[in-house]
Amino acid sequence: MLQKPRGTRDFLPDEMERRRLIEGRMREAVRRWGYREVCTPDFEHLELFTMKSGEGIIQEMYTFEDKGGRQMTLRPEVTAAVLRMYVNEGKVLPKPIRWCYFADCFRYERPQKGRYRQFWQFGVELIGADTASADAEVIMLADEALQSSGVTFDLHVGHLAPMKHLLSDLSPEDQRVIMACLDKRDQNALSAALEGRGLTHLTEPLAALSECQTVAEVFEIAGDVPERARIEETFALLDSQGIEYRPDFGIARGLDYYTGMVFEGFARNLGAENQILGGGTYRLAHLFGGDDVASCGFAIGFDRVMVSIGDFPLEPGTVVGVVCTPEARERALEVARAFRNAGVRTEVDLMERGMGAQIAHAAKTADFAVVLGKREVDAGTVTLKNLHTGEQQEKSLEEAIAEVARHGDR
């Protein structure tokens, strides 16, 4: 028996309904902020991602050569593809551009709970606004999107400028190594990197940045950071709107294109692998031949959100099962269509069972049975049976539809 590929999943109807419900809540949350959905190809030129993240990412991707000899890859994330699309299609659009996406991505890595080889991201990109207000909007939107899902989480907000200011005297290579260690939260690797470079004097201030409780404390540690006014304005806007967050200036993005504000979200019930959101300000379009436009965005790990939320009861709505004798088959199809046109989920027997077997099956899957025999066909009526109470009554089709609709509204 063939099995699904490692690191992938099959979703049965109940789970898909839960996923679509949460996805819909997130879509609606960002729609109210003016963000419109875009879609990019499942596969892109390999160079799109190596330009952004370096050659080292190749080992984590599903790469292939197409029949034209071009190096291609299934997308490992969506931000690069959206910015490529901006350069190709969106440069002349009025700014700021507010785009969102929901897409599956692919990475070749060791599967574990909440981390799969095929996974889904929900994200937002705000392109063309280089202000504290833009930074604050994206953070507030991320908070609202997660709130809408029902997941319980902690939001951490920081800025790269204080950390980069502490490291400003180092070589670009040393900065990259240390930022990468901080990004991975690997304290042992960080200690080794600092010690190996004779930089142990940075251990205490770097650790202190992560522990700051206020923005003012950050500047006491980092000194005269050029972006201080922008940072203070961003945090003041968040405070004015009552956003719950923790200042965390230990957040690092190991990639060079991140430029300023950064933030992350952590589910409270997922243990070590608990990050469900990451975002920040960045400049990426120029790598793909576009202008050096400021951008800000975030991506939500949708699968981890669903793992954190767990199973919850569904409200499937009212279901009708149409039960009929052989001579009423055509009328049954007409009746079923009428119920469906009224928005009611309706099923018709396809197994050519007897009437008793049809009703028994409907009792397992439906709330009402609509019974049709010769009498009902001749009279132009239906017999509506409530499968929960056992009550049944002959009605006109319109009356039966109205009764089912009233049941669904309760």
Same domain (yes/no): 270, 395: no
Last residue in a domain, options 309, 330, 364: 309
Same domain (yes/no): 155, 110: yes
Q: Can you list the alpha helix ranges (DSSP code H) found in 288-396?
A: 302-309, 329-341, 355-365, 374-379
The predicted model gives 128-148 an average pLDDT of: 98
Number of other CB atoms surrounding residue 355 within 10 Å: 15
Same domain (yes/no): 304, 334: no
Any binding-site annotation on 320?
no
pLDDT tens column, 21-40: 999 999 999 999 999 999 99
The predicted model gives 200-215 an average pLDDT of: 87
State the virtual CA torsion across 53, 182, 108, 1 in degrees, nearest 10: -160
- Please tell me the predicted confidence (pLDDT) of residue 303: 96
Determine, yes or no, domain membership for 5. no
Whether the Cβ atoms of residue 281 and residue 259 lie closer than 8 Å to each other: yes
**pLDDT band at 174; cut points 50, 70, 90:** confident
pLDDT tens column, 227-273: 999 999 999 999 999 999 999 998 987 566 788 999 999 999 998 88
Any binding-site annotation on 121?
yes
Last residue in a domain, options 309, 329, 358: 309
Total domains in the chain come to 2
Determine, yes or no, domain membership for 232. yes
Any binding-site annotation on 77?
yes
- Please tell me the predicted confidence (pLDDT) of residue 255: 60
Same domain (yes/no): 103, 219: yes
Q: What is the CATH number of the domain that holds 337?
A: 3.40.50.800
Any binding-site annotation on 107?
yes
Calculate what percentage of the chain has a pLDDT beyond 70. 99
Determine, yes or no, domain membership for 7. no
Q: What is the CATH number of the domain that holds 102?
A: 3.30.930.10
Same domain (yes/no): 341, 273: no
Domain with 169, as residue range(s), is 13-309
- Please tell me the predicted confidence (pLDDT) of residue 410: 61
Task: Give the integer Cα–Cα distance in Å for 76 and 61.
Answer: 6
Any binding-site annotation on 232?
no
Same domain (yes/no): 264, 347: no
Same domain (yes/no): 393, 354: yes
Task: Give the integer Cα–Cα distance in Å for 266 and 247.
Answer: 14
Q: Report the amino acid identity of residue 392.
A: Q
Same domain (yes/no): 65, 39: yes
Calculate what percentage of the chain has a pLDDT beyond 90. 77
Same domain (yes/no): 124, 215: yes
Same domain (yes/no): 351, 279: no
**pTM (2 decimals)?**
0.91
Task: Give the integer Cα–Cα distance in Å for 84 and 102.
Answer: 17
Angle (CA) 305 43 267, round 5°: 10
Q: What is the residue whose two structure tokens read 């969506």?
A: 78
Which of these ranges, 58-72, 143-157, 185-199, has the smallest mean pLDDT?
185-199
- Please tell me the predicted confidence (pLDDT) of residue 256: 66
- Please tell me the predicted confidence (pLDDT) of residue 113: 75
Any binding-site annotation on 258?
yes
Same domain (yes/no): 302, 328: no
pLDDT tens column, 364-396: 999 999 999 999 999 999 999 999 999 999 999
The predicted model gives 68-89 an average pLDDT of: 96
Q: Report the amino acid identity of residue 110.
A: R
Determine, yes or no, domain membership for 4. no
- Please tell me the predicted confidence (pLDDT) of residue 210: 83
Cis link prior to 316 (omega < 30° from 0)? no
Determine, yes or no, domain membership for 3. no
Any binding-site annotation on 257?
yes
Determine, yes or no, domain membership for 8. no
Determine, yes or no, domain membership for 2. no
- Please tell me the predicted confidence (pLDDT) of residue 205: 86
Q: Is the pLDDT of residue 53 over 90?
A: no
Angle (CA) 145 146 149, round 5°: 95
Determine, yes or no, domain membership for 185. yes
* Residue 382: HSE in the Cβ half-sphere, 13 Å Cα cutoff: 30
Q: Is the pLDDT of residue 197 over 80?
A: yes
Last residue in a domain, options 267, 284, 309: 309
pLDDT tens column, 303-338: 999 999 999 999 878 999 999 999 999 999 999 999
Same domain (yes/no): 32, 172: yes
